[in-house]
A = this chain, B = another copy of it.
Amino acid sequence: MKYLYGVDVGGTSVKLGLFSIEGELIDKFEIKTNTENNGQTILTDIANSLKEHMKEKQVNKSNIYGVGIGVPGPVTNGVVNGCVNLGWGIVNVKDGLENLLDLKVAVSNDANIAGLGEMWKGGGSGYQNLVFITLGTGVGGAVVVDHQVIDGHTGTGGEIGHAPSLNSPFKCNCGKIGCLETITSATGVVRLAKKLLTEKETPSLLRYEDEISAKTVFDAAKKNDSIAKETIEIFGQNLGFVCATMGVITNPQVFVFGGGVSRAGQIILDVVIKYFKQYAFYSIKDTTEFKLATLENEAGIYGAAYLAKNLGEV
């Protein structure tokens, strides 16, 4: 039997999974991300943890197809160009981990592997051209064409959160005004709702919340709260607008939405589809599908394993 390892490196923990070559998750485990001293032990920690796991599960190295790994930063040719959350500058993850493990390693960024995971075994399963959009604290994504993630020449492919929005007045963490994520991330939805609450005197359930979250906004919208509904409309308008642009750039079969905000469910799809249809070219208006992600926190290890699968025979 041939195996794959999928590794998803986050700022607080590293998720790891052992997979069959067909993509069945056999075992998963987690280690702490040690960001001390600019995260210089992270790769060694991962390598040691994998070695231990192989021993424990009696997985022979010769049966491992490869190791896929996702990191929270822009990757080109196995090299990551800075990961603020890990304390990393430029790190050659591929060479580093290959030397430590004596196994083939494939590297991509965290949003890209989540997209590949959803394509392989999640909401985008069965599609080869898709766009995965993760609506979390920020907004990220992966543009997949013929089963391959498009990294782009500076590793900025799929950085959908920093597409210019139609009408966001907010300043983004990146320094630019109006990035899509300033309105469509979890924090963006809250920011927008608060702005509307300040500007308007309309009664709203949200005025009684101690702390407004994206979830409370979507919940209030489901209860027909007008401020919450207006927030969701602006959210959907901007997301649908950018999806309509992507529809004439890479023309995906399906958009798959993941991340915390997507837990609001069908309401997300409904409002995005509404505005997508308004902004989209006729040839894609009714042929493009919209789905929710299904793998949640495991999307990354699935996608990392998928990367490993494409490394070729050991």
Contacts and interface: CB of A to CB of B under 8 A. Distances in A.
Interface string A130-165: 000000000000010100001111111111101110
Contacts of A244: 163-164
Contacts of A154: 251, 283-284, 287
Given A164-B244, A245-B163, A248-B160, A287 B153 contact: yes
Contacts of A283: 74, 154-156, 159
| Count of chain copies | 2
A152 to B, nearest CB: 2
A281 interface: yes
Contacts of A247: 156
A1 interface: no
Interface in A260-314: 279-284, 287
Contacts of A251: 150-157, 159
A59 interface: no
A253 B157 CA distance: 11
Given A154-B283, A174-B281, A283-B156, A250 B248 contact: no
A248 B282 contact: no
Interface of A: 74, 129, 143, 145, 150-160, 162-164, 166, 174-176, 178-179, 241-242, 244-253, 279-284, 287
